[in-house]
Each structure stands twice: as C-alpha cells, then as structure tokens.
Amino acid sequence: MIFTHHTKVRMYDTDTAQILFFGNQYRFMNDALEDLLAEEGLTMHHLFHSGINFGFVVVHSEANYLAPLHAGDRIKINVTVSRIGSTSFEFSYELYRKQTLAGTGKTVHVVIDHKTHKKKPIPDSVRLLLQKYVTVS
C-alpha cells in the first residue's frame, strides 16, 4: 500500500532562487511520515507520552532533487516502506508536482528503548503497521 500526503509549497519554503530550499524537502517528507503514523494511530503524542518503552530515531537520510518546486506548487508525497530489518526500517518518499517526479528520499529509523537509548527489536505492533506499506519494486 502507498500512503499519499498532499501539501503546497509556500513562499517561505523557497530560497533566493525562488525554488524549494533543499532542507525543506526533508520537512515535507517528515510531515508525510507523521501523517502516515497518525493515520495508523501512532501519533507523536502517543509515542512520547503514552508510557510505551520504545521510540524510533533517524540514523540515515538522503534526498534527491529531480525537478524544481516553486511557491504555489501543489505536491503529492508518496510514502512506502522499502525495508524492514530486526531493529531498523526504511521509508521511501516520492515527491510529485502534477505528473512530474520532483524528488525522492529515504529515511532509516532504528527502534530504541526510551530508558536506555539502546536499539531493540521492532515491536510486533510496529512491524505489522510497517508491513502494510511494503511495496515490491
């Protein structure tokens, strides 16, 4: 399954060349990820305030910029899971302006114990959530 998030490039998202400032592609990717997790009942509030003893942190990220995005452009961000390991998983992102692929990205997350900050196995509930978004290339 693919999760799709829609947003719009704002003037403050652009740089002096009037194209998307590179760092804001990460913000768009993170916004899409937060919405995917929230739709699955895993809100940021739940992760940090429910008493569960795990979280996940980004240990690697990358982004590719394939076409310029300008203020006013409506964009669609597709999010999928590209890999699930024993303690880590990877999300993949595609950013589209209309039918044009404008950017891609990946984030690798490691599950950690809230108390010790050591990595731990992916909880079964999170693994089930992730498996819904695995796509076969």
Averaged pLDDT for residues 16-44: 93
Which domains, from first to last, does the chain contain?
A: 3-131 (3.10.129.10)
Find, among 86, 85, 91, 76, the residue nearest to 133 by Cα: 91
What is the distance between the alpha carbons of residues 45 and 32, in angstroms, rounded to a whole number? 16
Distance CA 132, CA 96 (A): 22
Confidence band, pLDDT 50/70/90 cuts, at residue 114: confident
Global confidence as pTM: 0.92
Predicted confidence at residue 86, as pLDDT, reads: 96
What is the structure's pLDDT at 119?
95
pLDDT digits (tens, 9 = 90+) for 41-97: 887 777 766 667 788 899 999 999 999 999 999 999 999 999 999 999 999 999 999
Q: Which of 112, 106, 108, 111 is nearest to 94 (CA)?
A: 106
DSSP string, 43-85: -HHHHHHS--SEEEEEEEEEEEE-S---TT-EEEEEEEEEEE-
Q: Is the pLDDT of residue 137 over 60?
A: no
Residue 100 CB neighbours (<10 A) = 13
Query: In whole numbers, what is the pLDDT of the chain averaged over residues?
Result: 92
C-alpha distances in angstroms, 79 versus 32, 36, 118? 7, 8, 27
